[in-house]
Structure 1
Amino acid sequence: MNTDWLEDFIALAETRKFTAAASLRECSQSTLSRRIQLLEEHLGSSLFDRRCTPLKLTVAGQALYPTSYELVRLSRECERSVTVQDPPLTFASLHTLACNFFPQWLGHFHDEQAPLYTRIDTGHKSTENYYMALLSGRCDFILFYRDTESQRYCDRQDFEVIQLGKDEILWVGIPAVAHAIADSQGPIPWLTYAPSAQLHALSRPQLSRHPTPQRLKRVFEATVSEALKPMVTMGYGIACMPFSMVAEAIERGDLVRLYPELPADHLEIILVRWLGGNRDRAETFWEKVKARHGRG
């Protein structure tokens, strides 16, 4: 299958208009329309409901979208892999850890005389995809929270794990929301992680301990903490979040910890590598990490 067709499909799926998609793809509207038709003929399914304005994805189009996105990404990875002669150390990381843990942690290994060339990839959609990226050589390490799903990989003999630090999950909200919760018995607006996010599963114990779970009313969900945090700080509701994500806001008084009587859930931040990898640079870096943190 021609990946150009998939890129056309993604552009049209995201813009829902042939004119806008053609502009993104730098081609004529008629050319784009023909290529979409060729893709539909190849798959034997209609991907767009053209009776709607703007266009609407059919059931087949909705099913194709995430797969096509990943195929295009992998195609670009393949092209880069044969052109880069000095590839970076690549970390497949949760978005939260990439933004709030990785930069400071990497500073422990900074050498001005021989600076590290690193890359971080947060584009994987599931725990399994992270580990498949490691096994396929698309990344050298995984930066993750330890959880039940990832533990089955960590228990295997062909993986090695180092604990880099700890975090904890707790309930937070702005002071005004905290007061409103205490003064009312009405619904509590609840901001949460989408089911596909690792932190969705990791926050379940806190949810189970909530003193009045029947009052929680879901009003927003996001796949990453960076989308959840602004909604919390704007007062849209309460959320379970990693302490590392909200520590500064709590210190400033912008947020407060809710339900302090509830125990916080401790999280292990881990770095994982596959022993089947054969890059000398990755091995050298791993030994430096091991010397600093030991084996977890």
Structure 2
Amino acid sequence: MINTDLFRDFLHLVQSRNFSTTARDRGMSQSTLSRRIATLEDYVGADLFDRGIQPVALTEAGEMLLPLAQDILERMEEVRGIGHPDARRPDQKCHLIALSTLALHFFPDWLAQYAAEPVWQVDLLNTEPLLAANIRNFLLGQAEFLLTFADDRVPDLQALRHHRYIVLGHETAVPVTRPDAQGGPLWPLEGGAEIAYCGYTKGSFFQQALAPHFDKLGARIRKVRDNSMAAVIHGLVRQGHGMCWLPSVMVEDDLQSGVLVRAGGHEFDLETEIRLYRSHNMGRYAQSMWGAVSAGHQICRKAVRMA
């Protein structure tokens, strides 16, 4: 009978992609970890990692084992929970990283849906300006959960392609601008005029997700301001510096009052998912929370090879 802790070693290494990091976090020497992974490989009958590249990558056999190892450990936690009803003690907590817009406009109301007694204790960690930095902190184990906008065309999200997630909702980023004297868009996307654009910093989620619109508008669009936070850009657009795509949750009141108007039709909208990613490596408290918030959702996996 194989030790299920070997699956924990495996999942930690899948996330860290580094033997020394996993050995340190798992409280063992690197040589011990290597032997344990080799034991698992002997049991499976194939190499699970390509050790010839850095960071290490999953082999085809490793990709096949990944969802099975995840399911095995989750089932073991369920078995253990039968006789351990204190898995959700009030002195425990877990950690979540969220993009700034979601931290302000989505996270509080979403968590309030699960306000049974005792309330889930979730530390919301400081958000980095760029998507890649938030993903890096998540992969380094700073949080068990990552709450992010998602579009599979965004390159940085490929780093999460072997993590499970649930879709909590959808958000539409709409092109908005101050109105001109006649009430029309000051910076219209239709037509051939130059467009002043209050842009997202390179590497931010929306900067990457909006690439198809930038390609369509071509040289007409001219960046006049630059920031990684939608809240800051919202203020710049309201002041008339230019147009931008902003989450509808931020601008719906401005659109109703006429402070802002649409800069273009619905063909210029950007539809995104709101995803909650979970770590491969979670304690019983975080695992219990995942069970609660994922109930009724399809748990998704991306069947894509690590590169």
CA-CA distance at 1:126 after TM superposition: 4.3
**228, 233, 239: which one pairs with 1:228?**
233
Paired position in structure 2 for 1:97: 102
Amino acid at match of 2:216: R
Partners of 1:199 and 1:109 in 2: CA distance: 29
Instruction: Confirm whether residue 283 of structure 1 aligns to residue 290 of structure 2.
Output: no
C-alpha contact (below 8 Å) 1:188/1:216 kept by paired residues: yes
Unpaired stretches in structure 1, ≥5 consecutive residues: 1-84
Give TM-score, length-normalised by structure 2. Answer: 0.60
Q: How is 1:100-111 mapped onto 2 (pairs within 5 angstroms)? A: 100-111=105-116
Partners of 2:186 and 2:130 in 1: CA distance: 36
Change (3 A) 1:125 1:225: closer
Partners of 1:181 and 1:264 in 2: CA distance: 16
Partners of 1:248 and 1:293 in 2: CA distance: 30
Identity among equivalent pairs (%): 21
Partners of 1:128 and 1:187 in 2: CA distance: 31
C-alpha contact (below 8 Å) 1:170/1:206 kept by paired residues: no
**123, 132, 138: which one pairs with 2:136?**
132
CA-CA distance at 1:206 after TM superposition: 2.4
Change (3 A) 1:127 1:186: closer
Partners of 1:261 and 1:116 in 2: CA distance: 38
Give TM-score, length-normalised by structure 1. Answer: 0.62
Paired position in structure 2 for 1:155: 161
1:239-294 deviations in Å (ceiling 9; x for gaps): 122222222221222211221152422111100112222x1111111111111433
SS of residue matched to 2:222: strand
Partners of 1:261 and 1:132 in 2: CA distance: 34
CA-CA distance at 1:230 after TM superposition: 0.8
Paired position in structure 1 for 2:25: none
Partners of 1:181 and 1:118 in 2: CA distance: 41
Paired position in structure 1 for 2:203: 196
C-alpha contact (below 8 Å) 1:190/1:239 kept by paired residues: yes
C-alpha contact (below 8 Å) 2:177/2:263 kept by paired residues: yes
Partners of 2:142 and 2:228 in 1: CA distance: 22
**215, 221, 246: which one pairs with 2:251?**
246
Instruction: Confirm whether residue 175 of structure 1 aligns to residue 182 of structure 2.
Output: no
Amino acid at match of 2:106: F
**252, 261, 269: which one pairs with 1:264?**
269
Amino acid at match of 2:202: P
Amino acid at match of 2:161: D
RMSD: 2.6
SS of residue matched to 2:241: coil
CA-CA distance at 1:235 after TM superposition: 1.6
1:216-248 deviations in Å (ceiling 9; x for gaps): 332111110010001111222111222222222
Partners of 1:155 and 1:271 in 2: CA distance: 13
SS of residue matched to 1:116: coil
Change (3 A) 1:131 1:189: closer
1:42-98 deviations in Å (ceiling 9; x for gaps): xxxxxxxxxxxxxxxxxxxxxxxxxxxxxxxxxxxxxxxxxxx94532111111111
SS of residue matched to 2:143: coil
Partners of 1:127 and 1:188 in 2: CA distance: 26
CA-CA distance at 1:168 after TM superposition: 1.9
C-alpha contact (below 8 Å) 2:93/2:122 kept by paired residues: yes
Change (3 A) 1:196 1:154: closer
SS of residue matched to 1:287: helix
SS of residue matched to 2:236: helix
Change (3 A) 1:185 1:93: same
Q: Which has the higher helix share?
A: 1
C-alpha contact (below 8 Å) 1:134/1:273 kept by paired residues: no
Amino acid at match of 2:180: A
SS of residue matched to 1:171: strand
C-alpha contact (below 8 Å) 2:236/2:242 kept by paired residues: yes
Amino acid at match of 1:268: E
Unpaired stretches in structure 2, ≥5 consecutive residues: 1-89, 301-307
